[in-house]
Structure 1
Amino acid sequence: MQSKKSGWYAIFSVSLGSILLLGTGAVMAYSSTTGTVVQKQPSSPPQPQTNLPNTQTPPTGQPKQPTTPVTKSPVTSPAAVNGDYRLLALGDSLTRGTGDETGLGYVGNVTTELQKLTKNKIIVSNLGVNGMKSPELLQYVNSPEVQQDIRSANLITITIGGNDLSQGVGSVTSPDPQVAKKTRDTYLASLDQTVATIRSLNPNSAILFIGLYNPFLLQGSAAETATQILQDWNQQTVHALGKYPNTLFVPTEDLFAWDGTRLLSADMFHPNAKGYKWIADRILQDIL
């Protein structure tokens, strides 16, 4: 990260209008073919919002090592599972794959690689909801339908927090640390209850939490404040997850700091196909 231009690490959903958050009911669409993603998606999802541009021209190439330490825990490979391997993806628009022109998202990319490890089916439930915040995710995991998926999952991925942060710092261009702290504390409380609920239902499945990244740039004192807020946010998330076994924090901010706008979609906030592929590759480091 550059000292004069720092990233505001978050997945933003910037809008003056309201964001429709869907309830716990989901339209279940199943497929029984080998390697087919089994989608469980809410009906009529909100559309991605228009966001601020990132004008940085980044260097090319992908860093070989993450800049944020990853807490290592064993993740069960599909090769070690007798029968079908079930992946449950929870969270916001990142889980849904918003911005990927191929439609795969990180979930689809991960599924493709997992299928190479087994002749059995990879059964995927993608429950990503655009605009979701941490309190809504907590409600979501307490619904009977989602709890059924949690109990049977071999691997659970989560993306959450970007919408909390983007709408809870006072101003995107001039963030307020005190306002951000209140937002962070609410987020951490919801996250803790969410992971605790998942663990009570499924004590063995690995949980991979995908961290926030930098979608655009700020300058001067606003950039410094934003950097401090985001570093604290990610560090506190790592700390919150640390008390739960077999739960990993997967950093992504270094990927986007390295390749910047080249990993972003047309809305300049969500990843494009390449960005999601890089996120998937980072996730797969803990599986393969």
Structure 2
Amino acid sequence: MKIISVFGDSLVYGMGDSLEGGWVTRVQYKIKGKNKFLNFGIPGDTSKDLLERIDEELKESNPDIVIVLIGANDSQYKNSPENTLINIEQYKNNLEKIVEKIKKYTNEIIFIGLPKMNDSITTDWHYIYNFCNNNLQKYDAIIKNFCKENSFKYTRLFDLLEEADLDDGAHPNSKGYEKIADRIEVSLRENIA
């Protein structure tokens, strides 16, 4: 049995899924066997938040495989797209530190890229911070390059979801999470064979 710990934000938690569980639960059902998935997704988390909490959760779960999907909240901006919650350099630095911590437990690390959002809706939420696809794409490119430089598996999501898959503009609905689960399942099967 392999223990698969999944770390991230609301996109890992499954927010927006009326059937509950998001893509993590769906992937667990799709990959039958004796694998145990542990969902450590916390809505609103940034890479900084994940870095601060990951030690305890790694110790608790002692994973064989770690999946990380983090960065959407980092890319949020205030007033102008350049004024992000966590700037790109700090984001890269946080990813490096997160990986250092994970490597104490396993070298099997998979990164999931950021999905596109319907930013015509998310900019009308009237929150202090907003999302935009341009920023999401920049942060997704950081993840992709980071994985290439470090020989980690990267699963792209940016091209996957359509507006109909995002009821609130940011979080996938059940149909969107099903699409994500299908793509991640293919990527993950190689690691658990």
* d(CA) in 2 for partners of 1:227, 1:114: 31
* d(CA) in 1 for partners of 2:145, 2:29: 31
* d(CA) in 1 for partners of 2:23, 2:38: 13
Highest CA radius of gyration, 1 or 2?
Answer: 1
2:165 maps to 1:263:
yes
1:206-285 maps to which residues of 2 (within 5 A)? 207-217=109-119, 229-245=135-151, 247-256=152-161, 260-265=162-167, 267-285=168-186
Q: 2:21 aligns with which of 104, 107, 110?
A: 104
* d(CA) in 1 for partners of 2:85, 2:45: 19
1:1-288 maps to which residues of 2 (within 5 A)? 84-115=1-32, 118=33, 121-143=34-56, 145-149=57-61, 151=62, 153-166=63-76, 169-171=77-79, 174-176=80-82, 179-180=83-84, 183-203=87-107, 205=108, 207-217=109-119, 229-245=135-151, 247-256=152-161, 260-265=162-167, 267-288=168-189
* d(CA) in 1 for partners of 2:78, 2:169: 21
Q: Normalising by structure 2, report the TM-score.
A: 0.82
Contact 2:117–2:133 (CA<8 Å) still a contact in 1? no
User: Partner amino acid for 1:252?
Assistant: L
Q: Does the C-alpha gap of structure 1 residues 283 and 216 become closer, same or farther in structure 2, counting only changes over 3 Å? A: same
* d(CA) in 1 for partners of 2:13, 2:183: 17
Q: Does the C-alpha gap of structure 1 residues 239 and 181 become closer, same or farther in structure 2, counting only changes over 3 Å? A: farther
How large is the Cα RMSD of the aligned pairs?
Answer: 2.1
* d(CA) in 1 for partners of 2:174, 2:69: 17
Q: Does the C-alpha gap of structure 1 residues 100 and 229 become closer, same or farther in structure 2, counting only changes over 3 Å? A: closer
The structure that is helix-richer by fraction is 2
* d(CA) in 1 for partners of 2:159, 2:113: 10
Q: Does the C-alpha gap of structure 1 residues 237 and 181 become closer, same or farther in structure 2, counting only changes over 3 Å? A: farther
Percent of aligned pairs with the same amino acid: 28
Q: Normalising by structure 1, report the TM-score.
A: 0.57
1:40-74: CA deviation from partner (whole Å, max 9, x where unpaired): xxxxxxxxxxxxxxxxxxxxxxxxxxxxxxxxxxx
Unpaired stretches in structure 2, ≥5 consecutive residues: 121-131
Q: Does the C-alpha gap of structure 1 residues 217 and 93 become closer, same or farther in structure 2, counting only changes over 3 Å? A: closer
Residue aligned with 1:162, SS: coil
* d(CA) in 2 for partners of 1:93, 1:193: 21
* d(CA) in 1 for partners of 2:106, 2:2: 15
Q: Does the C-alpha gap of structure 1 residues 264 and 227 become closer, same or farther in structure 2, counting only changes over 3 Å? A: closer
TM-aligned CA deviation for residue 170 of structure 1: 3.1
User: Partner amino acid for 2:145?
Assistant: H
User: Partner amino acid for 1:164?
Assistant: D
TM-aligned CA deviation for residue 213 of structure 1: 1.9
Contact 1:192–1:241 (CA<8 Å) still a contact in 2? no
Query: Aligned residues, how many?
Result: 178
User: Partner amino acid for 1:129?
Assistant: I
* d(CA) in 1 for partners of 2:68, 2:16: 18
TM-aligned CA deviation for residue 241 of structure 1: 2.5
